Amino acid sequence: MRSLPVLSVAASLWLLGCDNGDASYYEPRAADVTPPIRATIDRDAELVDRNPGQGIGVFVEYHEGGEWRIDVGCDTTLSMLACSWLVVIEPLEGTLSKVAARDLESSDEFEFLPTSVGIDTTTTDDLDGVSFSAEPGSGIALFTALDGYQESRFVYWVGDGAVHTGAPGVPFELEPDRP
């Protein structure tokens, strides 16, 4: 796996013309911008219907002690298309630790800084992702882009006992219901 700064990856894709100049890639949050919408994620709730190749999405789970897992998938066996995901995560407090890429291929990009982690990956019939630790009970800000465009419709998590389909916007924040 190669490691490049997430912004460099996004800038490279833009310079190559992959987005026709219309896509909005990740940029660090500015202090004077209206804060993102925040949602609750249930601790230790698992998303069980993640079938590689059968569904498109960013699947987010939080576990006791500040352990996070984020996977991305595509519906390639149904659509015959691949999905190019850019996902960047920032802790709302503190730093990240125990960061590990999950099932990335050699062509995928992975970047870890103490204040963010990002993956730039193309998925087909598998799940790619990242796991990490943050301060227990601390939330995260999540930025997602699909095929070069900000995308929140395909983000899934369990909050208040129900599976949520689609985030309220990009970026958005998830805060655990319990540490």
Name residue, tokens 């099932």.
103
Output the domain CATH number for residue 48.
2.60.40
Question: pLDDT category, 15, cuts 50, 70, 90?
Answer: very low
Give 55-78 pLDDT, tens digit per residue.
999 999 999 999 999 999 999 999
Residue 32 is assigned to a structural domain of this protein: no
Domain that holds residue 133: 6-15+37-176
Residue 138 is assigned to a structural domain of this protein: yes
Pairing of strands 172-176, 162-165: unpaired
Residue 24 is assigned to a structural domain of this protein: no
Give 99-117 pLDDT, tens digit per residue.
999 999 999 999 999 899 9
Cα–Cα distances (Å) from 97 to 24, 66, 112, 142, 173, in that order, read 28, 10, 9, 17, 19
- As for how many domains the chain has, the answer is 1
Measured CA angle at 118 (ends 113, 121), to 5 deg? 145
Residue 84 is assigned to a structural domain of this protein: yes
Model confidence at 4: pLDDT above 50: no
- pLDDT for res 30: 64
Residue 109 is assigned to a structural domain of this protein: yes
